[in-house]
Structure formats: C-alpha cells, structure tokens
Structure 1
Amino acid sequence: MKNYLLTFAFSILASAAFSQAGHIMQGVGSVNMSMGGAATGQPLDISGALQWNPAAISVFDENQLKIDIGLFFSSPELSSTVPEFDSNGQPTGNFFSGTTEDDRGVSPLPAVAYVWSKPESKHTFGLSAFGISGFGVTFPESVSNPINMPQSMGGFGRVESDYSLLQVGFTWAYEVSEEFSIGVEPNFNFATLELIPNPTANPTGAGYPSADKASAIGFGAQFGLFYQSPTGFKAGASYKTKQVFNDFSLDNTYLDNSTSSNDFKINYPAIYSLGLGYSLGNVDLALDYRLVDYENTEGFQERGWTNTFSVAGFGWENISIISAGIQYKGVNKLPLRLGYTYSSNPINSDLAFYSVPATAIIKNAFQFGLSYELSDKISLDAVYHYGSSGDATSGPLLNPQFIENFPPYGAIPGSEVSYDMTTSMIMVGASFNIGK
C-alpha cells in the first residue's frame, strides 16, 4: 500500500478556503461592478459611493434607493503531487498526482443602499447593507488526488468552507463648498464561518475535526474626501479602517466523535483608496487605486504552525488593486459601461500551501454593464463579470514534522500543490429616485 507521509501535511487546507474572508470585493452593485469597481473619484451611483468614498454621496441631490442581487459562479481546480515511499519509508522515485474540481453551487451577493438629504442642506446621509465577501469551496474526497485522500490515508479528505460577511454602514457627508466634501461612515459587520475540516484546531489521533458554523461581530469606520471642478475633473480619497472582529468560537467534532472547541481571530484589512474621474458630454471616465493592508491584519499577518500543529496564520502580503471604467451615455435611455480590474497576488510561493484553495485570488476581471431608464424615477441595471486568476499559484506541500530538516515550514521534498480558477457573475438591480 502506498504511503505518502502526509500526516499533518494538509492541516492548513481548510483555512485556505477561510483565507477568502480577506478577499476584497472589486465593486458593489451592478453600476459600480460594471465600472470595474472605480468610484472613489467618480460616483455614478450611490452604492459605489457608499462603498468606496463616503464624501462622494454629496453629489446626489435626490433621495435614492438602490437594490441589487448577484449570482456568483466559480470553477476552482486543486492539484497536488507527492513522492511515493516504500514500506521502509524510503522514496521510490515515483510520484502520485491528481486534480480535484470544485462542486460548489452558486453564491448570492446582495446589496441595498439609500441616500437622502434635505433641500438646500449641506448635509447628506446614507445607509447601506452590502455583502462584501461571501465565497466558499467544496472539494470532495478523492482517492485520485493526494491532497483530498481520506485522513486515514494521509490526505485531508473532503474540504468544504462557507464564509459570508455582511457590512452595514451609516454615512454622513458635508459640503464644505460647492466643489469639496468630506464624509465619515461607521461600519457594523456580521460574519459567519464553517470549516470542514478545521485546521485552526489542534489535531488528535483522529486527525483534524470539522467545525460547526460560527459567527463573529466586527466594527470599523471609513473616512473620505471628494473634489469636483466645474470643468468635469473629479478626485477622491478614502481610508477604510481595519474592521476588528471578536473571535470565532468553533465547536469541533473529530472522526472518532470526540469533541473540542477553539477560538480563531481574523479581521478585515484596512483599505486605502485614491480615485480620479472625468466627465464630458456623454462620457464618464473613472480610475481607482487601492492598497489592501493584509500585513497588519490579524489572521493574515501571522504565518506557519503552532507548537501543537494547528494553524497560526496565512502570511499574506499587501496587495494593490487598479480599477478602471468608462460609461457612454450617447444611446437614448441606455447608458453602456465597460470595466477592468487588476489585483496583485498576496500569496508568496513558499507559503502557497497555506492558501489552498485561495479561490478568491483573481488577477484580471472584465465587466460589461448597462442601464435602462424606465422613467425619470426608475432605472434598471445589469452587469456581467468574468475573472481569471491568471497563472496558477503553486508551491511545496508543508508538514510541521519536517521543519527540523526543512525549515522554516517543513516543505516536503518533491511535492507541489497548485490551484487556479475562473469566476463569472450576473447581477441585476434597480435604482429609484424618490425625490427631493
């Protein structure tokens, strides 16, 4: 019988699905998504403004309601290769490889926003409820892919994760002048997490346990500046603080039906955004740059194993995101939009195993959207998104028992794990102008 010396080697896998919690949604709502997520300096709709720059809601003179719902599809693939060993624990020179496809279904992405102000007032207020992160994976147990082999055979078995993050914001913007506004937005967050198996818990002779769904509450804020000139040039800047959560309290059940519990903390990273916009006639242009601070965020800044072979953290690096979009309004009652989003990869190849399967890592994303103006009061919006992770992320499999000979993380000689994915999404929405 083949022996793969992978006991404990896959202990980070389920938390890799958990690492999607830190993925930053490129946009919110049909209009903002269709502009590639760019809105810091070009607020075309209230959802994009509330998400990326609270000061920018000052441009909306009428009370507005925005509702969107999206259906998100992903197709990640997980591959692994391990060396084979004989009954004496010596390498045979042969390797065992396999690939597992995700069989998870569709994930919904909701967004609701409302903005209002009094006539002639310099104050504008907003309320939003956005699903800013909500993904998961389901890789079934497999005897043809070593990383998904049953735990009794040295693999990690079935891998399933389910994470969702709902953020509620209360926004206030103030017009300092006709050209310059400031804004602030306190945030309230609610997150849920389920891990099968749960490598943030200590393993026993029965392997790693499965965790029931747990929840956590977090708080933070966002601050923004917005400038628009009479010539059509616009600029904005915002800072969203780290969203600080209480610990997830995970109730675990092992394969031998024994139980335990453990706490795990993961926060949502701080985001710095700069944006430019320009509007002339029937054309609106938008360009945003964001820096996501994973390196100073609990749950992401830590890396490696604890002394009990549980997960310490993911070791993600900061990422840059560039969003660009163009809107053309030359077709009567039918604005058309194109958007592009680029994101760098936070995963170092030496630590790639810690983020298996990081299905939220999308390098290039393309969007096409449009609106149809039913009347002066109602507009229907839609967008189609396609994203790709680009090149596969890969690195060695890690085993804490190998650290003495292969520091610092115990890379298994001759092994490799890799993953890539594509995403697609259809989102529809409606905008309602309620009046002054």
Structure 2
Amino acid sequence: MMKTIYSVLSLGIFAILSNATHATTGYFMHGYGVKAQGNAGTSIANFNDALTIASNPAGLSWIEQQVNVGATIFAPDRSSSIHGSPFADGEYDANGREYFVIPEVAYSHLVNDQVAVGFAIYGNGGMNTSYKQSPFEKYGSTGPAGVNLSQLFFSPAVAWKYAPNQSVAFASNIMYQQFEAKGIDGFAQLSQDSTNLSNRGKDSSTGIGFKLGWSGQFLNDQLTLGAKYSSKVKASNFDKYSGLFAENGGFDVPESYGVGVAFKLTPALTVAADVERINYSNVASVGNSLNLTEPLGTAQGAGFGWQDINIYKIGATYQATPKLTLRAGYSHNDQPIQSDQTFLNILAPGVVQDHLSLGVTWQLDAHQDVSIAYTHALEAEVNGQSSIPVNFGAGNANLKMNQNILGLAYSFQF
C-alpha cells in the first residue's frame, strides 16, 4: 500500500506541475476534492474524505482511515475585447489551450481515538490565457500573448480530538509554483527591468505557510460546525519576471479564512453552507492597481487591481440508497476585478462568480467508492470603464469567461 501511495504521490506532483490550474474564485479552486466539488466546494463543516485537509484539516477527526486519488478536468472559455481605442479595437480569443487536468492525492491515518494525521497534495489555484492573436500587438508587443500560473500545495496535517465532540488541527502549506508570461514586451518602457518582463520561459518559486482548523459536532451529531484559517504564504520571487510583478517579482499566496455549518435534516439528507474570504489585495502583485506613475516591478508598481472577495456556498447531500450518494450545490463570490482595472487583466480574466454543481458517489464495496462531479461556472463579463490609460490611447477592455469542470475520484478505506 505504501508503494502504491508513493507512486500515486509522484504521479500527482508531476501531473500538477505539467498542467496549469485554472481556478474559479479569483484564481483559487472552488472546491478541493471531487466529492466537495459536487457540493460546489462546501466543505468547512461537511467532511467527505482526506482532501478535507485542503479546506478544514480538523475534518480528519471525523473521517475513516483512507487514501483518495482523483483528477479534475477544467475547460475554461475566456476572451477579451477592446473598444474605443485608436490602436487595438477588436475581439480576442484566449483559448489557445482549452483543457487542463488537475490531479489530487490525499491520505489519512488514525493514530488513536484522539489523534489523526494525513497529507494532501493538490492544485491550490492558477490562471492561464493564450492569445494567438495578441491584444497587445498594436501596443508594441510581439508574438502570441498570455500567462501561465500553477500552484501546488503539499499539506501534512495533524488533528486532535480534545473533547468527544470537538477537534482542532494544524496543517503546513508547502507551496511550489510556476509562472510564465509572453507577448507583453510592449510594456518594456514602463518596467524597472525590461529584460525580465516577458518571454523568459518558466520560472519557479517556493514558500511555506500554515492552516488552522476547528470542528465540533452537536445535537447528537446532527449539527456540525467548522472554522478554518490559512495564512499568507510568503513566496520567493520570480526572478525572471522581476520587471513585471511588484516587489521585484513577488507573488505571494493571500490569506483566507471561513466558517461552515452542516445539518442533518433527516438521516439521509444533509444541508451545508460555507462563508469564506480571500484577501487578494494584501498581495502587491495581485492587489496593486494599474499605476503607471511607478515602474513595473517596483513595490508600488502596477498589479492586477484585484479586490478581496467573499464566497458563499450551499450544498446538499442525499443518501439515496446504501450504495448511492447524490450531491448538489451552488456558490457565489464577489467580483475581484473592477471595471477600471480590466486592461492588465486581459492576461488574467478571472471574472466568473456563480457555480452550479452536481455529484454522485457509488460504493463499490465496504472499502471502495468512486465519485464524479460536474460544475458549470456561469458566464460572467466585466466591461471596462476608462480602463485603458490615456498614454496607451484610452478606450476600454472587456473581459468574459465561463467554465465547465468535471472531476473523477477513487477512495479506499482501510
């Protein structure tokens, strides 16, 4: 079994780093684990498997010992348009690559009646655009344009059931990320280091943070409450892009936190809800607004202008038969991109806000089950308002995106 886990672990790491994750709540995943995806990511108090480490590690205290493997296929449809510009009016398709595969691996082990340990490996988030016809060509850029960001988290965790009905947990967030940008060399005159702005190939960065979790079960286990906090991950700089990202190529992972509740309406039906927050504005390269008075790459240099967002999720789980579990969910998040910040976000049009999800789990036998989940991120559009600077000819950039997401997972309980 340990050889199997090691093989799956190695395959998962390779596959995540070979594919760009393309997430849906800004650039974070909308749900960690295929079962949670079936509930639109509702998982702070609704514990399904060892992937609970990625949302609330305290859930380890309430699940059986198991190993989980899965993969999610993202099919994002992203595009942009420019209007009112004397240079670059037109419609631009960012779908140079259409499909992305994001694996997940997790394992949980019950040490005794009070302590549980485990780990999870998963794609935390990311973004990809690939314009064969560049929106920035008329601004002096050459060749195809786009960015590719992928983030991998390895999270070992320990949970302690300090009371019969309550648990606390700690997990490390060990992060590895890759980034590449191309076709934005037309911004060279605005950069502190134009040689490390565009077309530098892939660069990598590492960092470490932590996650705290709490959960409790009440009313004869009918009611479950949960809370989680993920620290900001301070990452090493992308040196090859020190002329693009603020703080000399800095790209940290923002902090996030949330609370959740799950209630058994009947022995077969559970309804759960989460409220989360992601503080994108605390990361300079993401939160700084489009500021052309400071060179790109400096501490106050232009970023993507993303705002902090709240995320609201609700899901239902129904045990239709002893072998068949049905799931459904809906989530909504605030819009991170404001209408005056759309120009640079042609590279990162993470504008979707609403997700509808369905999921099914089939129990193969006493130890094994398979799950499938489908999510549609409804099309969203942000139209620019005075979003292109005057020294770039003025006008407006408009962003549009929708997504289809399909996940498949296998679990083995010891």
Q: TM-score normalised by the shorter chain: which range applies?
A: 0.7 to 0.9
**CA deviation profile, 1:136-169 (whole Å, cap 9, x unmatched):** 1111126xxxx34355xx4665212211100000
Q: Which residue pairs with 1:333 in the alignment?
A: 323
Q: Which residue pairs with 2:99 in the alignment?
A: 106
With the length of structure 2 as denominator, give the TM-score of the two structures.
0.84
- 1:420 aligned to 2:400? yes
Q: Post-superposition shift, 1:360?
A: 2.7
- In the alignment, is the contact (CA less than 8 A) between 2:190 and 2:292 conserved in 1? no
Cα distance in 2 for residues equivalent to 1:53 and 1:74:
27
Pair 193,155 (structure 1): closer, same or farther in 2 beyond 3 Å = closer
- In the alignment, is the contact (CA less than 8 A) between 2:242 and 2:249 conserved in 1? no
**CA deviation profile, 1:304-326 (whole Å, cap 9, x unmatched):** 23544665322221101011111
Select the residue among 86, 91, 115 that pairs with 2:108. 115
Pair 339,305 (structure 1): closer, same or farther in 2 beyond 3 Å = same
Q: Which residue pairs with 1:285 in the alignment?
A: 271
Q: Post-superposition shift, 1:176?
A: 1.1
Pair 298,155 (structure 1): closer, same or farther in 2 beyond 3 Å = closer
Q: How does 1:391-406 map to 2 (within 5 A)?
A: 391-399=381-389, 402=390
- In the alignment, is the contact (CA less than 8 A) between 2:110 and 2:116 conserved in 1? yes
Q: Which residue pairs with 2:4 in the alignment?
A: none
CA RMSD of aligned residues (A): 2.8
**CA deviation profile, 1:153-189 (whole Å, cap 9, x unmatched):** x466521221110000011110111111111111100
Q: How does 1:310-349 map to 2 (within 5 A)?
A: 311-349=301-339
**CA deviation profile, 1:106-137 (whole Å, cap 9, x unmatched):** 11111100000134x30010111011113311
The count of aligned residue pairs is: 381
- In the alignment, is the contact (CA less than 8 A) between 2:72 and 2:103 conserved in 1? yes
- 1:372 aligned to 2:357? no
**CA deviation profile, 1:189-218 (whole Å, cap 9, x unmatched):** 000001003569843999964221000001
Q: Which residue pairs with 1:69 in the alignment?
A: 71
Q: How does 1:31-430 map to 2 (within 5 A)?
A: 31-47=35-51, 49-60=52-63, 62-84=64-86, 97-101=89-93, 102-119=95-112, 121-141=113-133, 147-149=135-137, 151=139, 154=140, 157-198=143-184, 202-203=188-189, 209-229=198-218, 230-250=220-240, 263-279=248-264, 280-303=266-289, 304-305=291-292, 307-308=294-295, 311-399=301-389, 402=390, 412-413=393-394, 415-430=395-410
% identity of equivalent residues: 21
Q: Post-superposition shift, 1:243?
A: 1.2
Pair 84,186 (structure 1): closer, same or farther in 2 beyond 3 Å = closer
Pair 284,24 (structure 1): closer, same or farther in 2 beyond 3 Å = same
Q: Which amino acid is 1:268 matched to?
A: V
Any idea what SS the aligned residue of 2:323 has?
A: coil
Cα distance in 2 for residues equivalent to 1:352 and 1:246:
27
Cα distance in 1 for residues equivalent to 2:163 and 2:296:
58
Pair 283,30 (structure 1): closer, same or farther in 2 beyond 3 Å = same
- In the alignment, is the contact (CA less than 8 A) between 1:135 and 1:162 conserved in 2? yes
Q: Which amino acid is 1:271 matched to?
A: S
Pair 84,193 (structure 1): closer, same or farther in 2 beyond 3 Å = closer
Q: Post-superposition shift, 1:390?
A: 2.4
Q: Which residue pairs with 1:92 in the alignment?
A: none
Q: Which amino acid is 1:65 matched to?
A: V
> Structure with the greater relative contact order (CA < 8 A, sep ≥ 6): 1 or 2?
1
Q: Which amino acid is 1:289 matched to?
A: V
- In the alignment, is the contact (CA less than 8 A) between 1:126 and 1:171 conserved in 2? yes
- Segments of 5+ residues of structure 2 without an aligned counterpart are 1-20
Any idea what SS the aligned residue of 2:89 has?
A: strand
Any idea what SS the aligned residue of 1:187 has?
A: strand
Pair 83,297 (structure 1): closer, same or farther in 2 beyond 3 Å = closer
- In the alignment, is the contact (CA less than 8 A) between 2:22 and 2:100 conserved in 1? no
Pair 246,122 (structure 1): closer, same or farther in 2 beyond 3 Å = same
Q: Which residue pairs with 2:17 in the alignment?
A: none
Cα distance in 2 for residues equivalent to 1:139 and 1:30:
30
Pair 30,396 (structure 1): closer, same or farther in 2 beyond 3 Å = same
Structure number with greater Rg is 1
Q: Post-superposition shift, 1:237?
A: 0.7
Pair 156,393 (structure 1): closer, same or farther in 2 beyond 3 Å = farther
Q: Which amino acid is 2:43 matched to?
A: A
Cα distance in 1 for residues equivalent to 2:187 and 2:202:
14
- Segments of 5+ residues of structure 1 without an aligned counterpart are 1-16, 86-95, 254-261, 403-409
More helix by share: 2
